[in-house]
Structure formats: C-alpha cells, structure tokens
C-alpha cells in the first residue's frame, strides 16, 4: 500500500505545476523569469526528383522545392542550400535556394536549382537540403535521385582524304588526320571504339577498287595500326575515351600500301559502297 | 615505285570539318533488366539527343536472342537540331518456354549518315548491349526507397506526439490522485465508524 501511495504521490508531484490550475489559483504571487531559447529550423519536405538524363556536352538543370519550418517565425530562416553528392564525384551545389512561397508564419518554401554536368557519373545521387537560422541552428533533410547514362561523343572531321597517291606507295597518312573524338556524355567508351571500312570503288571504272584492307587506323600518328577488314568492324587498339570535361581521342588513318597495279587514274571513294563507320558499343 | 598519278584520291580535300553530336540516353541500371515471367511483354525507351545545330537522321537496328526484342515503330528517326525528345522503343516479349533465370542478350545499334562530301566519308554509330533476365513474379526490379514518406518526421522534434504524451500523463496523474483521495476518504470514514479498523 505504501509503495502504491509513493508512486501516486510521485506522479502527482511531477505534474503538480500543470495540475495546479485544475484545483484553482493560489493567492501567492510569483515572479517568473524566463529566457526564450532559439529553436532550430526544420527541413520538413523536399520534393521528389525524377530520374534525370544528362545532356550531351552541357549541363542538366535539376529543379526541386524544399520546405522549411522555424517555430521562431519564418523570418528566422537565414540560409537554405542544397548539395548533390555521390562518392568520388564532385559535389554539385546550389549555395542559396530561392524563396518562392510563404507557407505560414513559421514556414517557407524554397526552390533549388543545381546544374549536373554531362560527365557526372550515372547512378544514385544524394540530395541534401540544409537550412540554418539566424542563431546558427540548422537542420538537413536528405533525399536521392537517379542520374541516367548518356553515350554521346563528337567526331571531327567527318571525312578523310588522301590527296593524290601513286601505285605502290606505302604508309600514307590522311590529309585530315587526326579525327578527334570527344566524349560528350558520361559513358566510358575506352577500348570499345570500332571502325567498319568498305572498299573504295573507282568513280568512273567501278570494277577497280582499293581494298579496305589496305587501310589502317591508329591512336598514334603512325602507320601499321589496326588493319581494316572490308565490311567488318575492327576494334581500335589502345583507345581511351573515358567520361570527363575534356576527354578526347585522336584517330589516324593510313593507307598502308597503294596497290602496285590494276588501278587506273580516277577518283576512288565511298560513294558506291557507302561510308565508313566509327562506332562505340 | 612509279611516280605516276594513277590514283587520284582527293577532290574535296578539307571541305568537311563537321562534328557529329548525337547521343543516346538510357536508364541507370539498364544493363540487366529483370522481367517477371508473368509479364508477357515490356517496353523500354531510349532517348536520342542531337545538340548539333542541324537536324540528323539516324537508323536503329535491334538484335536479340530468340527474337525476344523488337523495335517498335519505324527504324529511321529524324532528330531535330538541339533536341533531346526523340525516343525509340524496344518491346520485349517473354518466350512461352522461358524459365526463371533465363538470360537473353539484346543489342541495338544507332547509325547516323556521314557527310556527302569528301572521299572517305565516315558516319557515327553507337550501340548498347544489355541482358534480359526472367525472374519470378515477386522479384521486382530494384526500386529506390520511397524516402519522401520519411521527410516530414526526419530531422525535427514532433510536437504533436509530445503534446499527446503530456496530456495522457497529466490525465493519469489526476485520475490517480482522485482515486487516492477517494480511498483515503473511505478509510477515514471507516476509521470514524470503527476506531479499531486498522
């Protein structure tokens, strides 16, 4: 009995200050001195970000909203920023999200815009919104979104010419070498670059042609690269075209040997059988 | 070596310096696509981009094991300049004899026509190899957590729960106090009636 009594009394003592009005006010006067503490802001909502495609050679602007509440009043919110983060990648940041709406006396909505680079890694990125008040108290809320994959690259020039050549000549580089490939996406195509060549057929005497196998392609400005095979893709040895802000690879085209006989004076080109193709897989 | 110009290989030297710039955007994780065995067909989209200042015409070829995949709609696409809204669709059809765990190889290749000028014109091609895996009905593709539902309670103090908790504690305390008072009065009454009650 005594134990039960003790418990009840303890509970009563704990709630006595709140229970007091129930039993009526006392006649005592009390001086109350209190200091109003600063309360931290709360980032209570961040809108979902749908999967984003990179855009070749440029940025993709990702826009989303974040809502922040501060019980000390929305005017107390002083900083709202956002960061996209992925391990081993450069952070992408909006250092100051823009206020777009007042929710009520204590909350506001902010719009954040972050530019993702075309070479940023594909995968899941964390999206962290940070809010701070005038008293330097803060809060964060983390979401995530998917950054898709983009295979894209440029090639310039898009044709090669060899000028006038002579029967039996060897190791002739193209006048237009190198062809420069530049990665404009976030997909690593190193080691996956192929060339499909076709025989060059005479413009006036189509029965005469220069076999594709007499040409080669190389990542260095030198002959004896990878020999072409008519109508078949050959993989170029040693290519490196990873994602990056300025990732490029040079290709050099050579005639290894002009046939020593059987060809007449005329133009030989790809007009009859079709263009060559540089591909990545 | 005969130094007779028998083979003329250039007429338009240096006329062409264009850069090709098309791209293919694909969903993250699409190298291996899980298709539930009960789902007879599935459609996947691939988005074409052209950030060049002139339109571009490309052709698409799809190849697959057991013809599990086919290109929907046409095989040639015109991509307007500075656009990224053109998509081509590949439909996957699960074979009737497919078993859970079967994997099918699928590939597509997108080729763009080269310049009309120049002796050896060179076009651009891009492709992708991916796999289709037949899975049981319950094994869905990986889906990120729906973290949006966590948002409102994360990182802040929940004043509603705290308020309800305090009200409950106060109510219980008052009830306990009143119960105690009532018992006390009952005991006092009994004691008054019978001083030898204890």
Torsion angle of C-alpha atoms A196, A201, A206, A211, degrees rounded to 10 = -80
The answer as to whether A215 is a domain residue is yes
Give B175's pLDDT tier (boundaries 50, 70, 90): confident
Are A265 and B6 inside 8 Å of each other by CB? Answer: yes
Residue A180 has pLDDT above 90, yes or no: yes
A131 and A225, same domain (yes or no): no
Contacts of A278 in chain B (CB under 8 A): 122-125
**Boundary-marking domain end, from A98, A120, A147:** A147
The answer as to whether A143 is a domain residue is yes
Total number of domains constituting chain A: 2
A64 and A96, same domain (yes or no): yes
The answer as to whether A34 is a domain residue is no
Give the tens place of pLDDT for each residue, B149-173: 333 333 334 445 556 667 777 788 7
Q: Tell whether pTM > 0.80.
A: no
Q: Of A181 and B182, which is predicted with more confidence?
A: A181
Q: What is the structure's pLDDT at A4?
A: 54
A126 and A221, same domain (yes or no): no
Q: What is the structure's pLDDT at B5?
A: 47
A165 and A133, same domain (yes or no): no
Residue A276 has pLDDT above 60, yes or no: yes
Residue A2 has pLDDT above 60, yes or no: no
A276 and A158, same domain (yes or no): yes
Give the closest residue to B123 by CA, choosing from A233, A7, A213: A233
Q: What is the structure's pLDDT at B179?
A: 84
Are A277 and B122 inside 8 Å of each other by CB? Answer: yes
Residue B34 has pLDDT above 50, yes or no: yes
Give the tens place of pLDDT for each residue, B101-151: 999 999 999 998 655 667 788 899 999 999 999 998 776 543 322 223 333
Rounded to a whole number, what is the distance in Å from the CA of B137 to chain A's nearest CA?
25
A177 and A263, same domain (yes or no): yes
Domain hosting residue A49, numbered range: 42-147
The answer as to whether A141 is a domain residue is yes
Nearest-by-Cβ selection for B21 from A22, A154, A157: A154
Q: Which of these ranges, A103-112, A232-241, B64-73, has the smallest mean pLDDT? A: B64-73
The answer as to whether A36 is a domain residue is no
Domain containing residue A54: CATH number: 2.60.40.650
A273 and A163, same domain (yes or no): yes
Separation between Cα atoms, residue B67 and residue B89, nearest integer Å: 15
A102 and A195, same domain (yes or no): no
Q: What is the structure's pLDDT at A41?
A: 97
Residue A272 has pLDDT above 60, yes or no: yes
Give the tens place of pLDDT for each residue, B43-87: 999 999 999 888 999 999 999 998 999 999 889 999 999 999 899
Q: What is the structure's pLDDT at B118?
A: 72
Q: What is the structure's pLDDT at B30?
A: 84
Rounded to a whole number, what is the distance in Å from the CA of B172 to chain A's nearest CA?
9
Contacts of B186 in chain A (CB under 8 A): none
DSSP of chain A: -HHHHHHHHHHHHHHHHHHGGGG---S--------PPP---EEEEE-----B---TTSEEEEEEEEEEE-TT-GGGEEEEEEEEE-TTS--EEESSPEEEEE-SSSEEEEEEEEEEETTSPSEEEEEEEEEEETTS-EEEEEEEEEE-EEEEEEEE-SEE---EE-TT-EEEE-TTPPEEEEE-SS---TT-EEEEB-PEEESS-TT-EE-GGGEEEESSSSSS-EEPBBTBEEEPTT----SSTT-EEEEEEEEEE--SSS--SEEEESTTT--EEEEE-
The answer as to whether A35 is a domain residue is no
Q: What is the structure's pLDDT at A253?
A: 97
Q: What is the structure's pLDDT at A27?
A: 56
Separation between Cα atoms, residue A114 and residue A94, nearest integer Å: 5
Q: Which of these ranges, A221-235, B33-47, B128-142, has the smallest mean pLDDT? A: B128-142
Q: Which secondary structure element, helix H or strand E, spans residue B167, and what is its range? A: helix B159-193
**Boundary-marking domain end, from A127, A147, A167:** A147
ipTM computed for the complex: 0.80
A114 and A138, same domain (yes or no): yes
A276 and A201, same domain (yes or no): yes
Q: What is the structure's pLDDT at B167?
A: 76
A165 and A184, same domain (yes or no): yes
As a whole number, the mean pLDDT across chain A is 90
Are A162 and B125 inside 8 Å of each other by CB? Answer: no
The answer as to whether A9 is a domain residue is no
Torsion angle of C-alpha atoms B134, B140, B143, B145, degrees rounded to 10 = -150
Residue A62 has pLDDT above 80, yes or no: yes
A135 and A167, same domain (yes or no): no
**Boundary-marking domain end, from A147, A163, A193:** A147
In percent, the amount of chain A with pLDDT more than 70 equals 87
Q: Which of these ranges, A83-92, A213-222, B51-60, B179-188, has the smallest mean pLDDT? A: B179-188
Give A35's pLDDT tier (boundaries 50, 70, 90): low
The answer as to whether A197 is a domain residue is yes
């Amino acid at each position: 009995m005594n134990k039960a009594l003790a418990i009840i009394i303890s509970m009563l003592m704990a709630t006595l200050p709140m229970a007091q009005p129930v039993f009526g006010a006392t006649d005592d006067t009390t001086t109350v001195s209190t200091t109003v503490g600063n309360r931290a802001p709360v980032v209570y909502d961040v809108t979902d970000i749908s999967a984003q495609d990179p855009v070749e050679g440029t940025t993709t602007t990702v826009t989303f909203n974040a809502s922040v509440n501060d019980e000390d009043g929305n005017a107390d919110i002083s900083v709202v920023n956002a960061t996209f983060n992925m391990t081993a990648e450069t952070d992408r940041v909006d250092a100051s999200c823009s206020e777009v709406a007042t929710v009520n006396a204590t909350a506001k909505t902010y719009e954040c815009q972050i530019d993702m680079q075309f070479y940023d890694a594909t995968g899941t990125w964390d999206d962290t919104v940070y809010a701070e008040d005038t008293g330097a108290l803060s809060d964060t809320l983390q979401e995530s979104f998917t950054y898709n994959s983009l295979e894209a690259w440029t090639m310039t020039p898009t044709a090669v010419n060899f000028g006038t050549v002579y029967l039996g000549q060897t190791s002739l580089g193209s006048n237009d070498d190198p062809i420069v490939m530049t990665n404009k996406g976030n997909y690593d195509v190193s080691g996956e670059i192929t060339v499909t060549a076709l025989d060059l057929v005479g413009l006036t005497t189509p029965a005469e042609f220069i076999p594709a196998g007499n040409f080669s392609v190389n990542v260095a400005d030198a002959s004896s690269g990878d020999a072409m095979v008519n109508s078949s893709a050959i993989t170029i040895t040693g290519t490196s075209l990873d994602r990056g802000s300025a990732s490029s690879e040079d290709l050099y085209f050579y005639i290894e040997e002009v046939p020593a006989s059987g060809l007449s004076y005329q133009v030989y080109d790809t007009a009859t059988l079709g263009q060559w193709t540089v591909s990545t897989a | 070596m005969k130094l007779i110009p028998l083979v003329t290989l250039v007429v338009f030297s240096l006329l062409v310096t264009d850069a090709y710039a098309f791209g293919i955007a694909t969903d993250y994780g699409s190298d291996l696509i899980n298709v539930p065995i009960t789902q007879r067909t599935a459609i996947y989209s691939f988005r074409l981009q052209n950030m060049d200042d002139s339109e571009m015409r490309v052709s698409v070829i799809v190849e697959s094991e057991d013809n599990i995949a086919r290109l929907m709609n046409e095989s040639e696409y015109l991509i307007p300049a500075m656009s990224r809204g053109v998509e081509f669709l590949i439909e996957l059809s699960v074979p009737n004899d497919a078993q859970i765990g079967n994997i099918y190889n699928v590939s597509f290749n997108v080729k763009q026509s080269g310049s009309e000028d120049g002796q050896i014109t060179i076009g651009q091609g891009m492709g992708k190899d991916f796999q289709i895996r037949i899975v049981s009905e319950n094994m869905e593709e990986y889906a990120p957590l729906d973290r949006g539902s966590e948002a409102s309670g994360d990182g802040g103090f929940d004043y509603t729960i705290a308020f309800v908790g305090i009200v409950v504690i106060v109510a219980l305390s008052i009830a306990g106090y009143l119960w105690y008072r009532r018992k006390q009065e009952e005991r006092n009454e009994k004691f008054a009636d019978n001083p030898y009650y204890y």
